[in-house]
Each structure stands twice: as C-alpha cells, then as structure tokens.
C-alpha cells in the first residue's frame, strides 16, 4: 500500500515539474482548464490544521457564519462535525450529535434553506450491501463553540437497491435532498429524496438521472441553478432545472480540479463564484477554483450583466468542437493516451482507498 501511495504522489510531483510522460498526466491535468473568476477577488485557500480532522470527507459553506466551513471525518471518529475558519484553517467549534445511532461511514454534508445542517452517513465500505443508510439533521448553531446538540435521524433506502454513495446535496430553494451514488455495476446515478423527509418510516430515494462520474462529493450553488459533482480526478457542472419538461441536471461539461492527495469534497462559496475543493489527510488543503461563463450560477451572471448563464442550449461547455454533446465524465475531452494514464492512476488510488478502509474495519 505504501508503494502505491508513493507512486501516486510521485506521479503528481513529476507532472507538476513537467517531466512525467504524457500517458500519466491526465489525473493531474484538470487544473489546466480551471478559469479564475474574472474581475472578482478569488478567496484564498486554507489548510485544515486540527489534528483530529484526518479524513475530511465533506465540505459545506456556513449560511450563518461568513468564512466558516463545516466538515467531518470519514468514519471511526464518532458523532462529530467541525466548524473550520476559512481564513486561518483553525477549528472554531466541534459539534457533538446526540439522539442518533453510532455513525457508520459519514461521507457528505450540506446546509438546507431551513438553516439546518444535513450530514450524510451514506457511505458503504462493503460496496453497496447495507440495506439502509442514514441522514442526520441539526440546526446550524447561532454561536460557534464546542457544544452538544440533538439531531434528527432519517433512515434512507434506494428504490433500486443498496448503493455506495459519498455525495449529499440539499437544494437551497426546495429543501429536497439528493444523493449521488458512486459508479456501481458500470454506472452511477443521482437520487432524489421525498419532498419531506420522515422520521417515522423509511425514506426511499429514486433515481432521476445517470451520473458518469465516480462522485466523491457534490454541491448546489447558493441560488440552486448549478450543481457540481466531483470525483478523485475531475468534476462536472450541471444546469439545474426543477420545472418544465426536463427537470433535473443538464450537463454543462467539465470544470477544473486542483492536484490533491485524495479528492474528497467540494462546496460553492456563498457568492457562487468559486468552488472550494477539499481532500483527506492530516493538514489537508482546501483549494479554490474560480468559475466563468456558463459555469456561473444564473444569479451571478445576472448581477454581472453578462447573461451567459441564461442560455437554454445546455452551454457551450457541454459540447465538443465537432458539435457533439459530451457526457463521458472525467476524461471526456482527453485523447486515448491520456485516458489510459488516468485509468492506471485512478485504479491505483482506488486500490489504496479500498485497502485503507478494509484495514480500518478489521482493526
């Protein structure tokens, strides 16, 4: 396992130095397409310095406290959620959840229009065999300090059977909860929860769209018009439509991701102009990537007076130069040699993650 980690890290270093062969470059090549937000200051990144946070697996910008991001460990940590200051990287509050069972594999976090924090205990280290998972919900604290709060627990199942998932998103306008599963049996999917979650029964999530991405996290823009899903080596952004003849996500194409040890989380900044990407590991970095053009939420484009995000054609970012739509996922715009290298590195990283989790479960 250590040799695989070293190999993956070395590949990233060589690519950054310009000495890695082309076939090994695609996993780190995505940052080349990142476009900084024009005419606006992009927020600084930060490093999560809390030694208790070693497997940050979800990220959500606070609604009540500007500059604060909520995160949590992957598993084996207990019922804890951390508030991290995006200016210093320091933890300003650790919230302990009571009134719930023992967390199993916490993977996602999001904040709803009701001002509540939703925590997704939706991972499945057994590859999609647990017959149910959980979502926890608690009000975002008005004051930030260590505290114990009572959370509501919801039981979740999928209409088409157990799934392994890491991405939990709450729509900022409707409050409906969505989960994106990881690729399983050849494909991943976006699942929609009931209009209102129930504490008295099982909440069945139903598939609303395929997702050709090994999704490790996702987030809605603050105005609800954009959805981003990220994987280990890439991300895609979608126009979101709730009404009309084609509700749900409309693929606008890929969006840049930074080079990270293990890409795990993503959140929009409160102004909707920037994506903040997080990673697992001690002293993990949270890195900004600015958005532009059709990637920008509609409210941002309207404020800027560009109107670029109002086009209904799916956006130029969703098409290849030959005019054909792209829905190929993380490697859609790469040539075969680049794709081959990406697959090799992705396989190595996936193996490392699987071995780590297996060893953790056995210990």
- 37-80 confidence digits (pLDDT tens): 444 677 899 999 999 999 999 999 999 999 999 999 987 789 99
The token pair at 57 is 């697996």
- 95-125 confidence digits (pLDDT tens): 999 999 999 999 999 999 999 999 999 998 7
Contact 230, 276 (CB under 8 A): no
Contact 46, 61 (CB under 8 A): no
Q: Element (H or E) spanning 57, and its range?
A: strand 56-61
Overall average pLDDT of the 246-275 stretch: 92
Structure confidence at residue 347 (pLDDT): 53
Which residue in 343, 269, 260, 348 sits closest to 57, CA to CA?
Answer: 260
Residues 100 and 173: their CA atoms lie apart, in Å, by: 27
- 317-350 confidence digits (pLDDT tens): 333 323 333 333 333 333 333 333 444 445 555 5
266 by DSSP, 3-state: which?
strand
Alpha helices in 64-154 (DSSP H): none
- 192-202 confidence digits (pLDDT tens): 999 999 999 99
- Number of other residues whose CB lies within 10 A of the CB of residue 279: 23
The token pair at 286 is 């949270």
Residues 128 and 37: their CA atoms lie apart, in Å, by: 38
Structure confidence at residue 247 (pLDDT): 67
pLDDT at 2 over 60: no
Work out whether strand 133-139 and strand 108-111 pair parallel, antiparallel, or are unpaired. Answer: unpaired
Q: How far is CA 82 from CA 79, 89, 293, in A?
A: 10, 11, 33
């Amino acid at each position: 396992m250590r040799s695989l980690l070293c190999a993956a890290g070395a590949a990233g270093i060589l690519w950054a130095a310009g000495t890695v062969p082309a076939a090994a470059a695609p996993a780190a090549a995505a940052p080349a397409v990142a476009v900084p937000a024009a005419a606006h200051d992009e927020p600084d990144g930060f490093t999560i310095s809390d030694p208790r946070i070693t497997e940050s697996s979800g990220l959500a910008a606070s609604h009540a406290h500007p500059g604060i991001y909520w995160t949590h460990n992957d598993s084996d940590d207990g019922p804890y959620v951390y508030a991290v200051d995006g200016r210093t990287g320091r933890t300003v509050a650790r919230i302990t959840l009571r009134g719930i069972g023992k967390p199993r594999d916490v993977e996602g976090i999001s904040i709803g229009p009701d001002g509540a924090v939703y925590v997704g205990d939706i991972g499945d280290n057994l590859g999609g065999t647990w017959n149910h998972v959980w979502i926890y919900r608690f009000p975002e604290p008005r004051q930030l300090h260590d505290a114990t709060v009572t959370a509501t627990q919801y039981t979740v199942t999928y209409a088409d059977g157990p799934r392994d998932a890491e991405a939990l998103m709450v729509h900022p306008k409707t409050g409906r909860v969505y989960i994106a599963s990881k690729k399983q049996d050849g494909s991943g999917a976006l699942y929609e929860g009931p209009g209102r979650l129930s504490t008295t029964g099982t909440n069945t999530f139903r598939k609303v769209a395929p997702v050709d991405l090994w999704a490790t996290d996702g987030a809605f823009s603050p105005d609800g018009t954009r959805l981003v899903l990220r994987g280990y080596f890439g991300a895609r952004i979608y126009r979101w439509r709730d009404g009309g003849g084609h509700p749900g996500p409309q693929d606008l194409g890929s969006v840049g991701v930074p080079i990270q040890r293990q890409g795990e989380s993503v959140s929009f900044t409160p102004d909707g102009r920037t994506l903040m990407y997080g990673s697992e590991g001690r002293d993990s970095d949270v890195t900004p990537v600015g958005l532009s053009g059709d990637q920008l939420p509609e409210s941002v484009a309207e404020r800027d007076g560009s109107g670029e995000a109002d086009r209904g054609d799916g956006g130029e970012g969703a098409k290849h130069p030959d005019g054909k739509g792209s829905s190929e996922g993380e490697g859609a715009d790469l040539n075969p040699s680049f794709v081959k290298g990406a697959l090799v590195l992705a396989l190595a990283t996936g193996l490392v993650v699987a071995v780590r989790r297996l060893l953790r479960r056995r210990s």
